[in-house]
Amino acid sequence: MLNYFLSMLMLVFAIASIIAGIFTAYFGSGKSRAVGAVLIIIGLIVGVLFLWFAGILGFMGTAPLSFSGYVVNGIVAVVGAVIGALIALGIFLLAIMKA
């Protein structure tokens, strides 16, 4: 259970940090661009750690944690939750528009 939590936490944090860093560096000015660069670097470091723990970067040696069996299940669970939420939202909007 903890491996599901940690693997999805690291994956989503890395992606969100990189995206936020790109937007901050592109649209910001002065110190904001520096903050954006730091966010990108932090996101890349966490992303590399995630890939190492997932067993994709085997050349870095043995990882202290192993997410190898949990990553696919976690991503499938997140995708299923998002699809379920979108279906519920669609039904809600359809019901509101017809009323």
More confident site: 42 or 73: 42
Interval 45-70: pLDDT, tens: 999 988 888 877 767 767 667 777 77
What total of structural domains would you count in the chain? 1
Give the pLDDT of residue 99.
67
Q: In 10 A of CB 96, how many CB atoms?
A: 8
Domain interval for residue 45? 2-98
At 30 the three-state DSSP class reads coil
Whole-prediction pTM: 0.71
